[in-house]
């Protein structure tokens, strides 16, 4: 038999349950979409980006966004343009997300970006650095510094600090990003007065670079400028060493080679490689110290540039949704243009054409013993 106090206790518990259920219903997550390469040869980029997003998401959800948790619905593009396009259609059409993150590669953005723009859903690329990304439309943003901001700094440093006066150029002619990166390199080399001895092309699927490098060896360049992703770039480094090209002839890469995987694959053949980055793991400031510490604790590895950019971007997006006061795509787009955020890459805001506003923080990195270090 239950006494009066027992009845009161039961009613109290029931009331709490009802309140909790009501609160749970009110706290339905805000789901945004993300299209990243989570499988296949270029998954090293997409997996790093996802790790950056997920670490930031844990922190964002300690307080939530507009009184609700934030949620990311991931779709794997596998580095395929058609798959990225279909992922955008699925996330916007079926899952009704108010914002998209990604895709990983510039070529994928040229496929998926027009869909987001047509549907008036903001899409934010964290690693899309090719020329013309934000020209896709008013709903296309990027937080990654474009190659046109980074590559000239690296080449100027190579000229002024290392005496690079003549180069050979190699690029993957069958890839949108690599071709765009090459276009930036070509203009920068001309503007800096660095002589291009030869320009050699290859396919991303190639594994034999001996013909191009044999020709280059005979021309005796000071450096080889390469526009490609990690696999091909590392293959060129290994072939360069096997052909006896001097280690003094450095590889100078674009954003595609800015990954620790280059050192893991090419080993000592990667030493001396130069790339540019807006971020470095040893950057000394409290925000970066916390990010690196928490990343190591969660994943038992160091973050790379792609993880850092993703990490900052999620905080930026969360702040924009708060500023919009709603999860409506048009309002989020307007808020993104007004949002500023200070994170591991420093202070960030968008220009009117939806590119990063500040490109002054480019760091030139050199590969030594399988790891990148700031060039001394």
pLDDT digits (tens, 9 = 90+) for 63-110: 999 999 999 999 999 999 999 999 999 999 999 999 999 999 999 999
The CA-atom distances, in angstroms, between 253 and each of 57, 262, 320 are 31, 11, 34
pLDDT-wise least confident of 304-313, 329-338, 346-355, 356-365: 356-365
As given in the structure block, the two tokens for residue 299 are 């994943």
CA distance 176 to 81: 11
At residue 361, the pLDDT reads 81
Half-sphere exposure of 71 (CA within 13 A, CB side): 13
Q: What percentage of the chain carries pLDDT values higher than 90? A: 89
CA angle 278, 281, 305 (to 5 degrees): 45
CATH top class, domain 148-277+363-374:
alpha beta
CA distance 122 to 99: 5
pLDDT interval class at 27 (50, 70, 90): confident
User: Where does CATH 3.40.50.2300 sit in the chain?
Assistant: 31-144+283-344, 148-277+363-374
- Digit-coded pLDDT (tens) for 186-195: 999 999 999 9
- Digit-coded pLDDT (tens) for 353-364: 999 998 778 999
β partners of residue 354: none
Count of C-beta atoms within a 10 Å radius of residue 81: 17
At residue 26, the pLDDT reads 52
CA distance 90 to 110: 17
As given in the structure block, the two tokens for residue 228 are 């490609």
Mean of the pLDDT values across residues 120-130? Answer: 97
CA distance 66 to 101: 19
DSSP element (H, E) containing 47: helix 43-60
CATH 3.40.50.2300 fits 31-144+283-344, yes or no: yes
User: Collapsing DSSP states into helix, strand and coil, what is residue 16?
Assistant: helix
The strand ranges marked E within the chain are 30-36, 70-76, 100-101, 123-125, 140-142, 166-172, 195-202, 223-227, 250-253, 274-277, 341-343, 346-348, 363-368, 371-374
Core vs surface per residue 332-348: b (16+ CB within 10 A) or e? bbebbeebebebbbbeb
pLDDT-wise least confident of 20-24, 198-202, 207-211, 219-223: 20-24
User: Collapsing DSSP states into helix, strand and coil, what is residue 361?
Assistant: coil
Q: Tell which wins on pLDDT, 109 or 21.
A: 109
DSSP 321-349: HHHHTS--HHHHHHHHHH--EEETTEEE-
As given in the structure block, the two tokens for residue 136 are 């896709």
Query: Nearest-CA neighbor of 299 among 122, 37, 47, 97?
Result: 47
Phi, psi of 345 (to 5 degrees): -95, 0
At residue 227, the pLDDT reads 98
As given in the structure block, the two tokens for residue 283 are 């950057």
């Amino acid at each position: 038999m239950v006494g009066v106090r027992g009845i009161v206790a039961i009613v109290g518990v029931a009331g709490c349950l009802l309140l909790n259920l009501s609160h749970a219903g009110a706290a339905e997550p805000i789901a945004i979409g993300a299209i990243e390469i989570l499988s296949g040869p270029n998954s090293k980029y997409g997996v790093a980006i996802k790790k950056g997003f997920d670490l930031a998401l844990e922190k964002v959800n300690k307080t939530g966004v507009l009184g609700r948790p934030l949620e990311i619905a991931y779709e794997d593009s596998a580095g395929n343009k058609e798959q990225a396009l279909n992922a955008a259609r699925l996330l916007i059409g079926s899952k009704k997300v108010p914002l998209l993150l990604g895709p990983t590669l510039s070529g994928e953005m040229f496929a998926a970006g027009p869909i987001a723009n047509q549907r008036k859903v903001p899409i934010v690329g964290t690693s899309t650095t090719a020329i013309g990304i934000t020209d896709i439309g008013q709903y296309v943003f990027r937080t990654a510094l474009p190659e046109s901001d980074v590559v000239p700094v690296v080449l100027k440093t190579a000229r002024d600090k290392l005496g690079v006066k003549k180069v050979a150029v190699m690029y993957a002619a069958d890839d949108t990003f690599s071709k765009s990166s090459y276009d930036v390199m070509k203009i920068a080399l001309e503007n800096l007065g660095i002589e291009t001895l030869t320009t050699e092309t290859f396919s991303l699927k190639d594994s034999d670079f001996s013909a191009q490098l044999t020709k280059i060896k005979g021309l005796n360049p000071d450096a080889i400028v390469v526009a490609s992703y990690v696999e091909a770039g590392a293959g060129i480094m290994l072939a360069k060493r096997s052909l006896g090209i001097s280690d003094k002839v450095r590889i100078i890469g674009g954003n595609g080679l800015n990954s620790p995987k280059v050192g893991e694959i090419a080993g000592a053949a990667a030493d001396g490689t130069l790339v540019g980055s807006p971020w470095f793991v040893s950057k000394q400031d409290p925000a970066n110290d916390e990010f690196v510490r928490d990343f190591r604790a969660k994943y038992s590895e160091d973050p790379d540039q792609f993880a850092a950019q993703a990490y900052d971007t999620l905080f930026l997006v969360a702040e924009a949704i708060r500023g919009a006061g709603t999860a409506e795509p048009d309002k989020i787009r307007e808020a993104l243009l007004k949002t500023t955020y200070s994170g591991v890459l420093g202070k960030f805001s968008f220009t009117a054409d939806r590119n990063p506003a500040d490109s002054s923080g480019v760091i030139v990195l050199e590969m030594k013993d399988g790891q990148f270090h700031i060039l001394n």
